[in-house]
A and B are shown apart, each in its own frame.
Chain A
Amino acid sequence: MDLNGLSADQAPPISAPTIFFLTAPIFGIIAGILILLSDASILSNRYSIDTMVITHVLTIGFLSFVMLGALTQMLPVLAGVRIPKVDIVTKISYFFLLFGTIFMIFGMIGNSPKFTLASSLFLGLGFLVLIIAIFIGFRKVENITASVRALLTSLTFALAIILMGTYLLASYGTGTFSSLHLLLANIHSVWAIFGFAGVLIIGVSFHVLPMFYVAPRFKRFCKQKVVWLIVIGLILWMFLNIFFDAYSVIAKIWIATFFWAFATTIYIKLNKRRRPVSDVTVWYWRSAAIFMTLGTFAWVIDDFFDGEYITIVSLLIGGGFIFTIMIGMLYKIVPFLVWFHLNAKGYMSIPTMTEMINKKLARIQFILFIISLIGFIISFFIPSLLTIFAITFILSMIILEYNILAPMLLYRKIIKTKPDFDMSVFSISVDGIE
């Protein structure tokens, strides 16, 4: 049994998750600027270059950065996983993902095949380095819990979508598109949303909801079976999509049902939570549950309109569910990390978690973000409004960046002072304890 995640010394350095967290809103701002500069009518076509670039600046630059950052921090606690050489692995992964995403923007929008090919290579490497390291860390885990199973499942989907995504992106670099391009792109996007992000969120929420809000624990059936049922649905959907597309709606209904049930469960659990405190993170979780409910229905209904409303589905599920939960998580994780690392270093007279982020600014950020999301959906029908909501989105991302940066600056400031206690006595090496 690997006990290395038990101590502050052995927890990943604060820089491992925070470089990802601090960069994510910057990509959010870049995506907002790209929306601002794009033609609204082009954005309603999911396969237009502008749409694909903006989608991936958000899904890679924001969502994956937050998810990977959170995984480096949470895996030791949630699953007892220690990522080997976590400091160097995260830095390498970060470097490749950062430049991979930037190269993708230049390559695709600037129509530069060299940048596009480089971005395909960089993004592939960036994801693989960290995900393979996580898989290696999982090998030592003996206590396979529902969360561990969900995380492993999610990362397996991640591997598949990375390989597909790398291939699809390289196609734009080489200018040669296989006959399976659109089919692969479809599988890539559905597996990314439901298989990677969706299952990851489910696995993490088994712990996070009871942990942060003292919400009732998830039922055994939910923890043991739901992930498998979703996996069956996703594989069935792929099979039907390839061979019997006319029937793929059956698998869609199957997948949508479980995610809808999950969204409802989140809402019920939050209602039944024993902590009365309602902060902006609770609002984020509640909004996510509502958007996911609408998104699952929209996804199924969209099938009867030949995918005409897929942009709305993506906004509801990708933006309203995944993006929303990621921001909510950031507001909990970042202040805790700052407090935890300072405390472990012997600083006792430090601000509490709730003092690290300005509550009013967090609320304003939330409102701007939700307005933007709803606004983007309205803009699908009234394209002239897109500019306004691109601006509100950019503002919400700027405030988010500030809200995350503030605790980090506080950390920098405090770390330069003398600690209240010398904590070197607690620097216990646990290497070799198995």
Chain B
Amino acid sequence: MSTIKEYLSADHERCDGFFASMEDAAAKDMNNVSEAFEKFAYETERHFQMEERVMFVEFEQKTGMTQGPTAMMKHEHAQMRNLLKEMAIAVESKDKNKFFGNSETLMILMQQHNMKEEQMLYTMAQQHLSAESGRIVDMMQSMVVE
């Protein structure tokens, strides 16, 4: 069983893979990008929800920090959701420039966000929640995306 840090870090890498496939599809043909975009958007949303509805809740309960790092990460999730909406519009209108403009921004924002989580928040979560690590990973795995 992987730890919280291992599980969520691996999920970042999974999402990177879907991101690359989506850009690949868009580079080839904007008419056929919907499926790859939906897949990436769904997996990213699933990742956000695993954090917001499971891991962050456990972390906040354990540490009492509700306005600290988790609030900042939720704020960045909101920024990324906003970019995903812009990308959805670009996919709909087949606007390649707008799509890649937003995907470039999302990519760097996402990677910067992931790095902060992997280096700081997940490490901290692992320290505070090590005893419950297995249960939390189970809950994240079985979570249904809303």
Residue numbers of A with Cβ under 8 A of B are: 1, 3, 5-8, 77-80, 142-143, 145, 207, 210-212, 214, 274-277, 332, 336, 339-340, 343, 348, 351-355, 426, 428, 430, 433
> Is B36 in contact with chain A by the CB < 8 A criterion?
no
Chain-A contact segment, one of B40-48, B71-79, B134-142: B71-79
B119:A80 contact, CB within 8 angstroms: yes
Q: Is the interface of B mostly helix, strand, loop or mixed?
A: helix
Closest CB-CB distance, B42 to chain A, in whole Å? 19
B120:A433 contact, CB within 8 angstroms: no
**Knowing that A6-B73, A428-B71, A433-B65 are A-B contacts, what are 9 other residue pairs whose CB atoms are under 8 Å apart, sorted by A's residue number?**
A3-B68, A3-B124, A6-B121, A80-B120, A143-B123, A276-B24, A354-B100, A426-B71, A433-B69
Bound Cα distance A12, B106 (Å): 20
> Is B89 in contact with chain A by the CB < 8 A criterion?
no
Out of A3, A207, A332, A340, name the residue touching B115 (CB < 8 Å). Answer: A207
Bound Cα distance A23, B19 (Å): 35
A353:B105 contact, CB within 8 angstroms: yes
Q: List 19 A-B contacts (CB under 8 A).
A: A3-B68, A3-B69, A3-B120, A6-B69, A6-B116, A6-B121, A7-B75, A80-B119, A80-B120, A214-B20, A275-B19, A276-B23, A277-B100, A352-B101, A352-B104, A354-B104, A355-B97, A426-B71, A430-B72
Among residues of B, the one whose C-beta sits closest to the C-beta of A430 is B68
Chain A residues with CB under 8 A of B102: 352
Closest CB-CB distance, A107 to chain B, in whole Å? 41
A6:B109 contact, CB within 8 angstroms: no
B23:A275 contact, CB within 8 angstroms: yes
Out of B75, B79, B108, B120, name the residue touching A143 (CB < 8 Å). Answer: B120
A428:B115 contact, CB within 8 angstroms: no
A277:B23 contact, CB within 8 angstroms: yes
Bound Cα distance A7, B111 (Å): 14
